[in-house]
Amino acid sequence: MSIESAYACNSDTLKLLEGNTIEEIEIKEISDPFSEYYSQRIESLNAILLRQSSVNIKSYYNGGLATLSYRGTNAQQSQIYWNGLNINSPFLGLYDLNMLPNFQESASYSVDDFAIGRNYRLNDKAISSKKQVTLKFEVASFGAVNQSVMIGLNNRVNQSLKLTFRKADNNYSFVSNSETKKLQNGAYDFKDINYSVSGLSNKISFKCWIQDYYREVPFATPGAYQKDMNIRNVLNYNISTDHLSFNNSLAFFRETIEYNNDFSWLNAYLFKTEINLKSALKSFNFEELSIIPSYRVNQAHTPYYIKQRFQYIGTLELKAEKNIGVNNKLSIRIKEQVNNLKFYLPEWQFKLNSFLFKKNKAQYLSHYLPEWQFKLNSFLFKKNKAQYLSHFSYNLVSAHNIRIPTLNDMFWQPLGNPDLLPESAFSNEINLLYQYGDFRRTNKLFKLSGAIFHKRINNYIQWRPQFGGHWQPENVKSVGIFGFEPKFEFKILKSDFQFELNTSTSFTNAQNIVSDIPNDKSLNKQLIYVPRWKSNLNYSIMFKDTKLNFFYLKQSHQYTNTSNTMQTDGFSLINLSAEQKIHLDELDIDFVFSINNLFNKQYELYANRPSPLRNYAFTLKFYFNEKN
């Protein structure tokens, strides 16, 4: 929870994070060709999200509260998971991305759309080599220093320890009313410790994650500050028989927040088990069939509630995946949630993946389709067009999801509303994909995809002013979201030369379409801080161990009030980076120099919160692996 946001009554603020280095990210397909899985030297989740035109990263200021918005939904409607457990704060229902440390070698990231927004899943990975050490040291503009170390051992037990330290004066320059100024009272100091140990062939594991974040709060009362402390402990154990397997998790989370001497805390007790029905998989040819019950108790205390509050959430989820014929795969998810003995309509999702033509079917068309040729540089495709049809696939998704009101929604004094209904969203989406080549096997990849999506969110929760100047959350609106996203990716490795091009564009029309507020001026208006257009382009070229990267971002204007009479201007940014790798037996060394906001653009992503001008970073990284 961020108290600064609680004071703003659930405000959803916006600013692009600065100073993120985009590392080479390996994207590999799993069972679903439309799913995303990231691994291998991921620098940060923010760096990944920055490359996605459908995502906005939002914050008041550099180092301040940072949240994400996916396809026009708000930050509370997307969830962050750590090793399968939700780590969004129950106070505000969102997660501060600035509380995430940089990823190291032992982490991966994946996404799924079983939410009103999106689910982002962060997973620790076991150390594969006998001994692994990663060191990072970075100095950047605004007095920023970033240090991290990861030590991994894989003997009889698998252990990893990750330490991250970040601090900055954060006195960056910005332009306001044609006058160059420096940010005041914006320093931060971040400490992060993450330890995990597993044994018995990874059948049992324990993970502990401790975070301590102190930051000054600019654009507030003089001397304002905030301290966040998070402690997360998880015990995981697996039990497997010939017919069933159980993946069980017991967890305790502790969250404390101090804002200008106001102190709040929350304890969360969690139990989750995933039951995989092995016998049914064999009998009915399922790819996946599992039942996932979970139970969570939130115990919260804050001076802004009348008394200590408890929240009891029980969940039962069914996941099934089955091949239908040769070309199709159907995935079904059904989830029921119970909040303080209140039952809601179940959530569900139906997803169909299909290849338009398999190669054996496409061959029958060869007599009727002409040959064609596509040439780029020295790489030549020359095939019968029918064979290319085997690389087409599509994906259909229909879903219903809910979002339970947050603790602040229900209990904030004096007008918290415990009778709020959950937000309820019905969504439909179609994705088309053409992919030729597999970079891991052939060193060539050509990928073109597009998505069209529609979502309607009912019982939308909004804080409204009441008699006496107080604010109260109410279910007052329905929101309609429509948009499309084309994406293109090309990658080729030839001899010592590697070229990569990624580009994507997102159009998002998100409007209030129904309102219970008399004479509501926001009706049929774009939601605040949701740009209609956003595009990015990432171009990299590598020769042997030298890499140059060019990143371009363009974003349209955003409205800053619900009647759409005020706005921040659209803008474009360019970031550059250069990287040199050195290989010394079991040691790799990386030198990275990056320039953000190359042309010193003046821009705002939140009203009256100017963003930093041109800034720099130099990073030195060491990777040591002792092989088994």
DSSP letter (8 states) at residue 200: T
Q: Which residues contact 585 (CB under 8 A, 6 or more apart)?
A: none
Residue 598, phi then psi, degrees to nearest 5: -50, -45
Sign of torsion over alpha carbons 171, 173, 176, 181: positive
Calculate the dihedral angle through the C-alpha atoms of 621, 104, 45, 205, rounding to the nearest 10 degrees.
Answer: -170
What confidence tens digit (pLDDT) does each residue in 165-184 have? Answer: 999 998 888 877 778 888 88
H-type alpha helices, 269-335: 278-284
What confidence score (pLDDT) does residue 106 get?
55
3-state secondary structure of 222: coil
Identity of the residue numbered 373: Q
Q: Is residue 447's pLDDT more than 70?
A: yes
DSSP letter (8 states) at residue 604: B
Instruction: Assign 380 a pLDDT band (cuts: 50, 70, 90).
Output: very low
DSSP H or E run through 317: strand 309-324
- Sheet strands (E) in 83-140: 85-86, 107-112, 119-124, 131-140
What confidence score (pLDDT) does residue 235 get?
97
The residue ranking higher by pLDDT, 464 or 86, is 86
Instruction: Assign 157 a pLDDT band (cuts: 50, 70, 90).
Output: confident
What confidence score (pLDDT) does residue 277 get?
87
The residue ranking higher by pLDDT, 527 or 98, is 527
Residue (of 54, 50, 82) closest to 66 by Cα position: 50
Distance CA 160, CA 154 (A): 9
The mean pLDDT value for 327-340 works out to 90
Percent of the chain with pLDDT over 70: 83
Q: Is the peptide bond before 414 cis (omega within 30 degrees of 0)?
A: yes
Q: Is residue 594's pLDDT more than 50?
A: yes
The residue ranking higher by pLDDT, 271 or 283, is 271
- Sheet strands (E) in 278-366: 286-301, 309-324, 328-339, 342-343, 347-355
Q: Is residue 365's pLDDT more than 70?
A: no
User: What is the 3-state composition of the chain as percent helix, strand, coil, each rounded to the nearest 5?
Assistant: 5, 60, 35
What confidence score (pLDDT) does residue 199 get?
84
H-type alpha helices, 417-545: 439-442
Both tokens of 436, joined, read 């030729």
Percent of the chain with pLDDT over 90: 51
The mean pLDDT value for 280-309 works out to 87
**C-alpha 255: how far from its chain's center?**
21
Distance CA 206, CA 87 (A): 17
- Low-confidence winner among 24-38, 115-129, 203-217, 427-441 (lowest mean pLDDT): 24-38
Q: Which residues contact 178 (CB under 8 A, 6 or more apart)?
A: none
- Identify whether the C-beta of residue 624 lies closer than 8 Å to the C-beta of residue 586: yes
Give the HSE-up count for residue 613: Cα atoms under 13 Å, Cβ half-sphere. Answer: 14
Instruction: Assign 627 a pLDDT band (cuts: 50, 70, 90).
Output: low
Distance CA 487, CA 391 (A): 16
What confidence score (pLDDT) does residue 286 get?
80
Q: Is residue 378's pLDDT more than 50?
A: no
What confidence tens digit (pLDDT) does each residue in 248-279 have? Answer: 999 999 999 999 989 999 999 999 999 998 76
Distances (CA, A) of 32 to 39, 42, 321, 329, 440: 17, 21, 10, 9, 17
Distance CA 65, CA 1 (A): 9
What confidence tens digit (pLDDT) does each residue in 300-318 have? Answer: 999 999 888 999 999 999 9
Both tokens of 230, joined, read 């998070």
Q: Which residues contact 343 (CB under 8 A, 6 or more apart)?
A: 336
What confidence score (pLDDT) does residue 46 get?
64
DSSP letter (8 states) at residue 15: -
What confidence score (pLDDT) does residue 155 get?
80
DSSP H or E run through 361: helix 359-362
